[in-house]
A and B are shown apart, each in its own frame.
Chain A
Amino acid sequence: MIAQVVNQIPAPHIEWLPILPELILVGTGLVTMLYEAFATRSQRAVHLMLSLTGVAGAAYAAFLLWDWTGEPTVLAGAVAADRYAVVARLLLLGIAAIGLLFGTHYFARTPEHERGEFYPLVLFATSGMTLIAASADLIVMFLALEILSLSLYVLTGFSSRVESSEAAMKYFLLGAFSSAFFLYGVAMAYGATGTTRIGAVAHALAGATGSTALALLGFVFLAVGFAFKVGAVPFHMWTPDVYQGAPTPVTAYMGAATKTAAFLALIRVLDVAFQPLAWDWTPVIWVLAAVSIVVGSVLAIAQTDVKRMLAYSSVAHAGFILTGLTAANQDGIAAAMFYLLSYATMVLGAFGVVMLVSIRGEERTSLSAYAGLARRSPVLAGLMALFLLSLAGIPPAAGFMAKVSVFGAAIRAGHWPLVLIGVLSSVAAAFFYLRVIVLMYMQEPSAATVERGEPDGSAWLAGAGLLVPAAVTLAIGVFPQIVLGILERASVLTW
């Protein structure tokens, strides 16, 4: 009897390739975990090599999907195999690789905080992120969201400092709350359309003749969940504490990757599932964008800790990306993806420098630690200046072109008041980025910051991790076309 019923359920045909990147990541994560458990004396270098190999393998597997000719969605419509997912994965894997390099360097400097679990947790979080960007079903999206969130909660509380545990607790409580919102939104979308598949939701909404109130309510709940993850006002409360409390390499990785992954998933929800209701949701995103930009920029001015300042600036940047999404078309998607790429590189770079300046743990993250940095370490100051100017949107760094592309998309869609808010807030934002540059270049080092930390052999790891963002920031700032062409081809989402 039961066997009969089981046989009646059609078993989905399983295409392995489209989820191979996630499989590789999870597999490598398990291997590093086992290594940590069974190796008598676990070696940092082995962990790093294993993890990087996994990331590289996943990237290669993702790369193979660029010319995927099979069905647009696989695994019974749960995972999308489009070029959007390929680019999303490559971006996220790049961030993960740099995060791993930073982490290794951090542990070399503060062995007391070192735990081998860092590597598998980053890999698991990354697998959740790549999956969320590729998910074509709201349930899978929720699962991926939980995978990445749970890993990040642990990573946030990773060091034994009180602030770190406090941040993790705060992140966890608020995160759980937002997950509930997200799940509630999925349920309502299901109630309105009878499906959780993103493409099918769109079809149902496009053909809907009656009231779309339930679907819209579902959208609002989903939007709350996403707004929390990307740190958009008024769901940004966790960002400063978590950014400040988490170990700096985790902040770098999380700041860049979570925002990227959550936005990439949000784009799929907005521009596929709820595309038929674009007229209804555009104002919501418009307001979220405007409020995030203004509040993020203004609050960042008052900060005295560089990590908190970057946290508030991340809120403003979430607003800029949302600005691109108000275009609700392919232009906007490509622009937002370009912004995500630029933002990820700048933020990785900036936190990378913060990590190196603080020397050990979270010792020197107050702004005063940057006084006279250009004298002490000109290269570090130069890199920080580059990343800050890029964040401020000064050409020829990537941040400027990113702003031009999102503002351009929004203005073509008729949202010029939002663009005006954006450009004016950029001026306020420039003030606090400039303040760091003033400290670095125009003040003498204070006595407390002059003495240097002990040199160690792992600085080249962080250096290598910083070089990539620096090169990318300049390269795509001056020649954005090298990636824009790819992003344009990747911005066609499959249903």
Chain B
Amino acid sequence: MRWLTITTFLPLVAVPILLAGRGMRDDLARGIALLVSLATFVVSLGILGRFEATDAGFQMVERAVWIRSLGISYALGVDGVSLWMILLTTFLFPVAILASWRVERDVRLYMTAMLVLECGVLGTFVALDLVLFFVFFEAILVPMYLIIGGWGGERRVYAAVKFFLYTMAGSAFLLAAILFMFSRSDALAGGASFYLPDLMQLALPVATARWLFLAFLVAFAVKVPIFPLHTWLPDAHTEAPTAGSVILAGVMLKVGAYGLIRFNLALFPEASRHFSGLLSVLAVIGIVYGAVVALIQTDIKRLVAYSSVSHLGFVVLGIFAFTNQGVTGGVLQMVNHGLSTGALFLLVGMVYERTHTRDLDRMGGLAGVMPWLTGAFLFAVFASAGLPGLNNFVGEFLVIVGAFSANTALGSVASIAVVLAAIYLLWSYQRMAYGPVREEHRSLPDLSVREVAVLAPVLALLLVFGVYPKVLTDRIEPTTEAVVRRVEPDHPIEAGPPPVSVAQPAEATP
């Protein structure tokens, strides 16, 4: 069974039906999209089932010649990092589709864009051929652009174009770098190739590798986003419709961080070491900057968007610490941020649907009106702020431990930012949920059954991964160890208890 191919392209099954079905009832279109995305999730569980936790290399590899004349192959594979990205994607898409039940305009086109987007995102996580990766990487721009620009808020067109051009500008360097690597890969035993494991054998001159590292970095840094390339993000997240924000924050930002691990670290280990100081500093700036800017936001969606900048800073900090804890924590944080920020965007969307405002100053007292909704909100806020026992805590903890062992100063600053996160998140919750309730908000309805169905699985995972992160780390660690060993061959593998057992006792002492 070609599990990876089937999972990746399964979402496309519904596209011809949706496009051809003129006059199709909107509910039917929604139902088809939901069904197909759920089926994709179920199939992706098959990948999890077949995954060998102890194997650090690529598994379930599928490889075929795609474009012989250009040396491009169709190569898919999964390892401990991409496994969880795939599952996060297949998990969040049905949630996002269910969350967009209220989309009334051009439902078929909207659902088509969502499913094409899912295929593209899955493709970026499984592709092992650089051109194939690039194809998916670029292809996801179009549906996301349409979703932001077609169904977003007031300044949606501006945000959509900005998003598209920023990302495309970054990927322009990536394409040039990929082609350049190919032109230098004649020296390989198997001849010129775009296949990642082949290119990892390529010995490039130090200066060349550093330039190529930077070219790859720009593409992924825009996507992550790493400070100072983050300016597209608040606009895109704020203007996108709820499901668009969920997918953007939950999945698409991970494409950037994933690209850093998959390509930058794997292809240019020396350059990664060389630039790790710079990137760690930028990551910490991003962490603090994102948190500080989030503090002063009154638009709750923008606040969550800036919190993403801060959280993704942790991911980058962890990755470039080059310690087992750091990288594992970074990957863990990618999953956790996807879930917790996804939940926050879902809840912000639900609040907005009711109050028709995102302005915190025009809310207040909602806890009395909608206890369940605000309760769920509080839960997500706690998770996002890194409360022990919930998922974000484990990842942030590991990242900070990893960063400390790499650079004490940066680790200290990053841990201060955790406090800032608690402040801006709890403060925003306070302004929304407590205080006097506004007159027009007195009769707002609480969560509907559909909304409970949207939120319950996400919130449940926040708890599960907080209490028992071992499910994740068991499969992530062999891969991250291999990554660290590749980048820092001389670095001693840390003795002592594995990172998870470092994290778990800490739950008891909040």
Using CB atoms and an 8 Å cutoff, list the residues of chain A in contact with chain B: 334, 374, 378, 382, 389, 394-396, 400-401, 403-405, 407-408, 411-412, 416, 419-420, 423-424, 426-427, 430-431, 434, 437-438, 441-443, 479-481, 484-485, 487-488
B176 x A420 contact (CB < 8 A): yes
Residue among B66, B69, B146 making CB contact with A334, cutoff 8 Å: B69
17 pairs, A vs B, C-beta closer than 8 Å:
A374-B109, A395-B135, A396-B135, A400-B138, A403-B175, A405-B69, A408-B70, A408-B179, A423-B176, A424-B169, A430-B168, A437-B145, A480-B70, A481-B66, A481-B67, A481-B69, A485-B69
Q: Which residue of B lies closest to A381 (CB)?
A: B109
Cα distance, A378 to B69, chains bound together (Å): 36
B365 at the binding interface (Cβ < 8 Å): no
Report B-chain residues with C-beta under 8 Å of the C-beta of A411.
176, 179-180, 182-183
Q: Which residue of B lies closest to A419 (CB)?
A: B176
Chain B 405-428 near chain A by CB (<8 Å), digits 1 or 0: 000000000000000000000000
B114 at the binding interface (Cβ < 8 Å): no
Q: Which residue of B lies closest to A395 (CB)?
A: B135
Cα distance, A479 to B68, chains bound together (Å): 10
B67 x A395 contact (CB < 8 A): no
Report A-chain residues with C-beta under 8 Å of the C-beta of B109.
374, 378
B172 x A416 contact (CB < 8 A): no
Report B-chain residues with C-beta under 8 Å of the C-beta of A395.
134-136, 138-139
Chain B 172-189 near chain A by CB (<8 Å), digits 1 or 0: 110110011011000000
Interface segment, one of B36-44, B149-157, B223-231, B443-451: B149-157
Known: A396-B135, A423-B172. A408 touches B182 (CB 8 A): yes
B48 at the binding interface (Cβ < 8 Å): no
A427 x B69 contact (CB < 8 A): no
A486 to chain B, nearest CB (A): 10
Residue among B66, B72, B165 making CB contact with A431, cutoff 8 Å: B165
Q: Which residue of A lies closest to B178 (CB)?
A: A404
Report B-chain residues with C-beta under 8 Å of the C-beta of A404.
70, 72, 131, 175, 179
Known: A404-B131, A481-B66. A412 touches B183 (CB 8 A): yes
Majority secondary structure, A binding face:
helix
Residue among A378, A400, A438, A443 making CB contact with B135, cutoff 8 Å: A400
Report A-chain residues with C-beta under 8 Å of the C-beta of B150.
441-442
Given A416-B183, A485-B69, 15 new contacts (CB under 8 A): A374-B109, A394-B142, A396-B135, A404-B72, A407-B175, A407-B179, A411-B182, A412-B182, A423-B172, A423-B175, A426-B168, A430-B164, A430-B165, A431-B161, A481-B69
Report A-chain residues with C-beta under 8 Å of the C-beta of B138.
394-395, 400
Report A-chain residues with C-beta under 8 Å of the C-beta of B157.
438, 442-443
B246 at the binding interface (Cβ < 8 Å): no
The 5 closest A-B CB pairs, nearest first, are A423-B172, A484-B69, A395-B135, A442-B149, A412-B183
B141 at the binding interface (Cβ < 8 Å): yes
B70 x A405 contact (CB < 8 A): yes
Cα distance, A485 to B182, chains bound together (Å): 20
Report B-chain residues with C-beta under 8 Å of the C-beta of A437.
145
B165 x A480 contact (CB < 8 A): no
Chain B 105-122 near chain A by CB (<8 Å), digits 1 or 0: 010010000000000000
B257 at the binding interface (Cβ < 8 Å): no
B334 at the binding interface (Cβ < 8 Å): no
A404 to chain B, nearest CB (A): 7
A141 to chain B, nearest CB (A): 28
Q: Which residue of B lies closest to A422 (CB)?
A: B176
Cα distance, A394 to B145, chains bound together (Å): 13
B95 at the binding interface (Cβ < 8 Å): no
Q: Which residue of B lies closest to A382 (CB)?
A: B19
Known: A424-B172, A430-B165. A394 touches B139 (CB 8 A): yes
Report B-chain residues with C-beta under 8 Å of the C-beta of A424.
169, 172
Report A-chain residues with C-beta under 8 Å of the C-beta of B141.
394
Cα distance, A484 to B142, chains bound together (Å): 26
B135 x A484 contact (CB < 8 A): no
Cα distance, A488 to B109, chains bound together (Å): 39
Q: Which residue of A lies closest to B170 (CB)?
A: A427
Cα distance, A485 to B70, chains bound together (Å): 10
B160 at the binding interface (Cβ < 8 Å): yes
Residue among A405, A434, A487 making CB contact with B161, cutoff 8 Å: A434
B361 to chain A, nearest CB (A): 30
A362 to chain B, nearest CB (A): 28
Cα distance, A441 to B157, chains bound together (Å): 10
Q: Which residue of B lies closest to A417 (CB)?
A: B176
Cα distance, A411 to B219, chains bound together (Å): 19
Known: A426-B172, A442-B150, A442-B157. A389 touches B66 (CB 8 A): no
Q: Which residue of B lies closest to A412 (CB)?
A: B183
Report A-chain residues with C-beta under 8 Å of the C-beta of B134.
395
Most chain A CB neighbours (cut-off 10 Å) among B135, B142, B169, B179: B179
Cα distance, A334 to B19, chains bound together (Å): 35
A424 to chain B, nearest CB (A): 5
Report B-chain residues with C-beta under 8 Å of the C-beta of A407.
175-176, 179
A408 x B183 contact (CB < 8 A): yes
Report A-chain residues with C-beta under 8 Å of the C-beta of B183.
408, 411-412, 416
Cα distance, A437 to B142, chains bound together (Å): 10
Report B-chain residues with C-beta under 8 Å of the C-beta of A427.
165, 168-169, 172
Most chain B CB neighbours (cut-off 10 Å) among A378, A405, A441: A441
Report B-chain residues with C-beta under 8 Å of the C-beta of A441.
146, 149-150
Q: Which residue of B lies closest to A389 (CB)?
A: B142
